[in-house]
Structure 1
Amino acid sequence: MHRILLAALLLLAAPLTATATEEQVVLGLSRDRVAITADFDGSDILIFGAIKRETPIPDGDPLQVIVAVSGPSAPVLVRRKEKKLGIWVNTDSVLVDSAPSFYAAATSAPFSQALSDTEDLRHRVSIRRAIRSVGADMNIADAQEFTRAVMRIRQNEGLYSIRENTVAVDEQTLFRTEIDMPANLTEGEYIARIFLTRGGRVVSSFQTTIDVRKVGLERFLFNLAHQQPVLYGLMSLAIAIAAGWGASAAFRALRGN
């Protein structure tokens, strides 16, 4: 009897497994590494791919594609300022547990059509879901305002964005989009996620990484400042003294002429 039940369960599970994997992402990136140099003013990354299928295109809801790129996450301390006796002072503060340094999502349809709230909660695709804040003080009634402040500030800085209807999908098989990365990027490993959805439900997903690093003189100075701060400080002081002495000598020479 147990064997019959097990066989029946396996037969029921087989179609479900096939359905879950019948559409898969084959991804391409215009670049998988971004180099931050002295004249770095941002970068555009072309993300493109195709949908691999073992069966014909399913009937029903059309295929939608969501591309999300997130930078390294870190805690963020958000403080509220209030004016008291003519002076701006810090009052309440909330530690946002984890906020990505950069977050951009592009969709092939309006976000609410491409992804349901339940799936957004599960996969954390929207900006508000990508930020995690669970340790707010119970005495702060409007703790969510601090999370919204992080979103607002970073959106104004060009670090957070949701771009609807910017993923082109051809014949429910090919897709492409561009992600704009600003100049003020944080160094580290960026995660690119691609979601295929139908009727707001994720039917397949794929993940890869993009390496963002400082190179050249910027890398040398960054490492020196973090690994040997005393030497970095002495070198900066010596350069400042030399520059001041040089400017003074040049000024005296001009006056002598």
Structure 2
Amino acid sequence: MIRAALFLLLALSGAPAAAEEVVMGLSKSSVSISTDFDGSEILIFGAVKREVAIRPDPPLQVIVTVEGPKEPVTVWRKARRLGIWVNSEAVEVDSAPTFYAVATSAPLGEVLSEVEDLRHDISIPRAIRSVGAPMTILDSQSFTNALIRIRERAGLYHLDEGAVQLRESTLFDTAIAMPANITEGLYMTRVFLTRGGKVVASHSTEIDVRKVGLERWLYNLSRSQPLIYGLMSIAIAVLAGWGASAAFRALKSG
């Protein structure tokens, strides 16, 4: 079924072709976040469209990235003061994706050169933009590395080397797992074809991730009516506490 879709994509693509071009598709172009949302998996597949015969050496490789909305992040470093751990130094990361996944057909260091990574911002560190840091902080890169480690543990950043299946240097597919804690927004999906570490073709599209149902209503309420949202949250907390206390007293007296 996937192969049939790939060949259909090739047949319908009427744009003038370069030496090699990417034709890609998604198993779904939108993700709905509801109250019972526990994550999602997106199948990304495609084919290589050519005007010339396949060149066997160097072999073709494929890189797929999925990037969530970007936002500024303040990263703090803790230090021990008078026997307790407190925030001591901070670096403002100008722009970091809320989610970033990279899948490759071979080890990333083999399929992409540092120059091409710098040009296209493909690897996880290159996707994060941190321009400046306080003059008192000499190791600002360690703050960016800490952010990457934290989000890797949360399942929000991951590199899957060898996860892209490439068949006969023509058909490719991979699956990108999106955890339950993703944020809503447009997720940029990019596919790169590389030879000898150099990008020879690329293509991009978007995945729309949105809250629906109760999640959407609460989100909109928190943005449009923050006072009402806050009062409602307090009321729910009070009622929950009262209910738990009443249940405990009933169990104790029984």
**What's the TM-score bracket when you normalise by the shorter of the two chains?**
0.7 to 0.9
Q: Which residue number in structure 2 is paired with residue 28 of structure 1? A: 25
Superposed displacement of residue 256, structure 1: 10
**Mapping of 1:172-191 within 5 angstroms?**
172-191=169-188
User: Over residues 71-112 of structure 1, what are the superposed CA-to-partner deviations in whole Å (9 max), with x where a residue is unaligned?
Assistant: 011111111111022021222211111111100000001101
Structure (1 or 2) with the larger CA radius of gyration: 1
- The alignment status of 1:153 with 2:150, answered yes or no, reads yes
Residue 123 of structure 2 aligns to which amino acid in structure 1? S
Superposition TM-score, scaled by structure 2 size:
0.87
**Mapping of 1:1-257 within 5 angstroms?**
21-240=18-237
Aligned-residue RMSD, C-alpha: 2.2
Identity %: 63
> SS in structure 2 opposite 1:189?
strand
Gap runs ≥5 in structure 2? 1-16
Residue 21 of structure 1 aligns to which amino acid in structure 2? A
Identify if the C-alpha distance between structure 1 residues 217 and 208 changes in structure 2 by more than 3 Å, giving closer, same or farther.
same
> SS in structure 1 opposite 2:58?
coil
Structure 2 distance, partners of 1:230, 1:182, is 30
Does the 8 A contact of 2:18 with 2:51 survive in 1? no
Superposition TM-score, scaled by structure 1 size:
0.86
Superposed displacement of residue 117, structure 1: 0.7
Identify if the C-alpha distance between structure 1 residues 136 and 247 changes in structure 2 by more than 3 Å, giving closer, same or farther.
closer
Residue 93 of structure 1 aligns to which amino acid in structure 2? A
Does the 8 A contact of 2:73 with 2:94 survive in 1? yes
Structure 1 distance, partners of 2:249, 2:82, is 51
Superposed displacement of residue 58, structure 1: 2.3
Total equivalences in the alignment: 238
Does the 8 A contact of 2:67 with 2:97 survive in 1? yes
Runs of 4+ in 1 over 2 A off after TM superposition: 233-257
Residue 105 of structure 1 aligns to which amino acid in structure 2? V
Structure 1 distance, partners of 2:43, 2:27, is 5
> SS in structure 2 opposite 1:210?
strand
User: Over residues 113-165 of structure 1, what are the superposed CA-to-partner deviations in whole Å (9 max), with x where a residue is unaligned?
Assistant: 11011101111111111111111123211111001000111111111111101
